[in-house]
Structure 1
Amino acid sequence: MTTPLETPSLYAPREPIFPKRVSGHFRRLKWAAMAVLLAIYYVTPWLRWDRGPAMPDQAVLVDMANRRFFFFWIEIWPHEFYFVAGLLVMAGLGLFLFTSALGRVWCGYACPQTVWTDLFILVERWIEGDRNARIRLHRAPWSLSKARLRITKWAAWLLIALATGGAWVFYFTDAPTLARDLLAGQAHPVAWATIAILTATTFIFGGFAREQICIYACPWPRIQAAMMDEDTLTVAYRDWRGEPRGKGAGAGDCIDCMACVNVCPTGIDIRDGQQLACITCALCIDACDAMMDRTGKPRGLIGYLALSDETAERAGQPVRSVWRHLLRPRMAVYTVLWSGIGVLLIVGLALRSQVDLNVTPVRNPLYVTLSDGTIRNAYELRLRNKQHHDVTYQLGIESGAPLSIAIEGELAGHITVPPDQTLTRRVYLSADPRSPLASAGSEPVTLTARDLDGPASARIRTVFHGRDAR
């Protein structure tokens, strides 16, 4: 009696990766990048910046309640979101620039997933030991010793994740005040929920998902190929020098020690060629160079290599310098675009006015005829004071014929606006019955607002509707 053929499973369980500790130039560079980036993330919300009375003194603050973004001396209002958009465009172009130059180097050194995974692996190594010890612990049956080590590791991970989630919410409100509220259990539920979500995601992504986020969840590995070309410098294995592998006579420089595989945080073998999972962290270069030093062979079996240089290297001929690879048209285009947007943002910040004026004509009715024949138009005026003190503005009119201006609730043509606030007032423009504007249709006029004690001013065009308006 035959049994039906079983359908093979397409699911392969994940094999945990336990990167081995390595020393070298690129590992030290990664430690430095991790230390700087983590310090910036955790310390920035606590930096103070004096903006005057009644203003937040947090240097970097996303003030959602008042719809403003503070960055040291820069203050961004909702209608100025194009500054933030410009920064995002610069970030994208910068990513294209670095990828075109050095491959997936962002992923290897500065991506938050990489930074926190490095930190989690460092803690894991402190508690459970290096690669071999962690592998033995993983394969060992559960015992009190294994449970103690795992619980200690998970507790340390959870504290890091909690600090990460807590630091994030400090960017959205005054950090010392929120810290006191959290310790007293009086913080807003939104703060608790945000911390809980970010703690859970950091704990899972950095502790358990690790390389799976880089390989499966992140879209960048699938996009980076469009940013790279044959002149991009990226980590590669020089197989013409390393093959055939082994230690006997006639073997290449590669002794098949697996050092490059054992240190890889995504578990790939760089000797198989360029792969989607390679994050260009270059730890395999450190591991291979260390092994070459031990065996008395020249370094560089694994190193940064451009595809356009491969033929020359195979033939033992000189290759182009690094600068020749960096100074090419694609790099120039990205650099010019990135720099141009940065210059535009700086100029925009330098030239922007300290006052915003917005006027909307009241269209029902278009105009009102007073008892003496005067034609009056009504407008909704919004005046925003971006300075950190009270400012009194003088309203004026620029038109081809005389107009009078009156502000509802104000005896003179002055409006005092509190610091960092927007004031809304009903404004009336009136034309004498014998004025050309009184009998005209719709004529353009310009309203102006001028700071009585400073240089700030604004002007905006609108229309005045006369008797013949339709």
Structure 2
Amino acid sequence: MTDDTFIEGPLYERRRKVYPQSVHGRFRRIKWAILCITLGIYYLLPFVRWHRGPGLPSQAVLVDLPHRRFYFFFIELWPQEVYYFTGLLIIAAMALFLMNAVAGRLWCGYLCPQTVWTDLFYAVERWVEGDRRERMQGDKRYWTFGHVRKVALKHFLWIMIAWWTGGAWVLYFADAPTLVKDLATFQAPFIAYLWIGILTATTYLFAGHAREQTCIYMCPWPRIQAALTDEWALNVTYRRDRGEPRMSVKKAEAARALGDVAGDCVDCHQCINVCPTGVDIRHGIQLGCIQCGLCIDACDNIMKEIGRPPGLIGYDTDINMQRRREGKAPIYRIVRPRTLIYAAAIGLVGSIMLYTLATRSTMDVNVLHERNPLFVQLSDGGIRNDYTVRLLNKGPERSFGLEVLGLPGSTIRIAGVEPKPDGKLTVQVGQDQTREVRMSVQVDPAHVPQAPVDIEIRITDRASGESASTRDHFVPADQ
């Protein structure tokens, strides 16, 4: 092997500014609908109210970091219930794999936040500076007063969108109307202004400047999904068997009149002009293609103008590309083992989460055995073990009776709590709160066990009779 076998070149292609052209069609309408729905939810959801009762926040979706709670309409999650978030992450991953198995980079083309916000920024750019041709001509005469004025207006609007994006995010972590008022009067905490500034800068940078570079170089998903896809997945495809050989409309008509082969592609470059990443789909599936379908709309519009059938570019599979070359009819298999496994995983995890959510208790108890010392020997020969008991109340204010089971001859005492007339110990826990108490378990000399004994610490709601328990151990003196 000689040295000239290796060709030196840049690691990355030199940045070529992309000027996407506006396009009208089915997929563009779908993208507009998704943009409006997703951004509408994101910007407005913090202001939706949900009444939970006195003393509880009335914001429908709230991440309450000071009290370590997450509220989602009628659902309230505690730190101990982090497994619900684990389940959501599993469902999200399986949904992403399922979308990839059905239609390639469906997430990238329609639902990814980078795609949604970049679409919005492109819309503002076209509204201010004009469509593709006007923007390209404006950049050539950059320092004219009219162009500078348009560019300044565009960047101002971009910054306002980015600022509201960052502002909407922090509203999920505090009562939205109150925080908006505090932000406007400069009484909000510094951390709120800091995060708004960070998210404003990142949104402005990624959606306004990085754009397609984020998808091509920064995002790992295009590389991951390439290893997950198969020949049955639908991808935006240029149907080469129908489009080649390319030639102008007049040459194609003349060739067909003579009985020669002429493709439907007229090499108009409209599929490239409308692509937000500047990809030529006629070269096949590429890393830069986000499968948004805008090239399908552009090509269908051209086919309609020249009197040819639509579908030269469309969602298709590698299998069908091969079948058409062989003169066979296309077949589609959306339902296949791969998609069934992903759908089953989503259904299984979702069912488990729904079941545990529907049957979960609104009370719990945790116990920590005192380690230093493990036991205390009393003057009468009895033994005492001390425990720290944490009671969790996920409902309205309640009274819990506390008892120890599995240890004959034992009595319990709780610091600061006097027994009721019936001799039972009752601990009051406020609404949606926890309470930590110190409990002593004492065994008289006649019942001191010879080895450590497993015991059950149970709490019972005095009103409803609902109970929860945990297990620990009682250590005798000779251990």
TM-score for both structures, normalised by structure 2: 0.93
Instruction: Give runs of aligned pairs for residues 446-457 of structure 1, distance below 5 A.
Output: 446-457=456-467
SS across alignment from 2:473 = strand
Letter in 2 for 1:275: Q
- Could you give the per-residue CA deviations for residues 342-396 of structure 1, whole angstroms, max 9, x where no partner exists? 1111111112111120111112222223333332211111111111x21100011
SS across alignment from 1:326 = coil
- Could you give the per-residue CA deviations for residues 126-174 of structure 1, whole angstroms, max 9, x where no partner exists? 1111111111111113111011100010111111001100000000111
Q: 1:20 to 1:400 in 2, by over 3 A?
A: same
SS across alignment from 2:295 = helix
- 1:417 to 2:429 alignment: yes
Residue aligning to 2:410: 403
SS across alignment from 2:446 = coil
Letter in 2 for 1:276: L
- 1:347 to 2:355 alignment: yes
CA distance in 2, matches of 1:379, 1:38: 51
CA distance in 2, matches of 1:297, 1:376: 91
Instruction: Give runs of aligned pairs for residues 207-218 of structure 1, distance below 5 A.
Output: 207-218=208-219
SS across alignment from 2:55 = coil
CA distance in 1, matches of 2:202, 2:313: 34
Instruction: Give runs of aligned pairs for residues 232-251 of structure 1, distance below 5 A.
Output: 232-247=233-248, 248=251, 249=255, 250-251=261-262
CA distance in 1, matches of 2:470, 2:26: 59
Residue aligning to 1:367: 375
Contact 2:376 2:477 in 1 (8 A): no
TM-score for both structures, normalised by structure 1: 0.95
CA distance in 1, matches of 2:327, 2:409: 85
SS across alignment from 1:127 = helix
- 1:466 to 2:476 alignment: yes
Residue aligning to 1:91: 92
Letter in 2 for 1:175: A
Residue aligning to 1:104: 105
CA distance in 2, matches of 1:458, 1:341: 25
- Could you give the per-residue CA deviations for residues 258-285 of structure 1, whole angstroms, max 9, x where no partner exists? 1100110000000000101110001111
In the TM superposition, what is the alpha-carbon distance from 1:455 to its structure 2 partner? 4.5
CA distance in 1, matches of 2:262, 2:191: 63
Percent of aligned pairs sharing the same letter: 48
CA distance in 2, matches of 1:445, 1:381: 14
CA distance in 1, matches of 2:87, 2:404: 34
CA distance in 1, matches of 2:412, 2:361: 23
SS across alignment from 1:151 = helix
Contact 1:391 1:418 in 2 (8 A): yes
Contact 2:142 2:148 in 1 (8 A): no
CA distance in 2, matches of 1:22, 1:305: 21
Residue aligning to 1:123: 124
Contact 1:440 1:465 in 2 (8 A): no
In the TM superposition, what is the alpha-carbon distance from 1:18 to its structure 2 partner? 1.2
- 1:276 to 2:287 alignment: yes
CA distance in 2, matches of 1:142, 1:237: 40
Residue aligning to 2:139: 138
Q: 1:330 to 1:455 in 2, by over 3 A?
A: farther
Residue aligning to 1:68: 69
CA distance in 2, matches of 1:341, 1:11: 41
CA distance in 2, matches of 1:200, 1:146: 24
In the TM superposition, what is the alpha-carbon distance from 1:13 to its structure 2 partner? 3.9
CA distance in 2, matches of 1:10, 1:461: 61
Letter in 2 for 1:366: L
Instruction: Give runs of aligned pairs for residues 175-214 of structure 1, distance below 5 A.
Output: 175-214=176-215
Q: Give the alignment partner of residue 337 of structure 1, picking from 340, 345, 348.
A: 345
SS across alignment from 1:394 = strand
In the TM superposition, what is the alpha-carbon distance from 1:11 to its structure 2 partner? 6.7
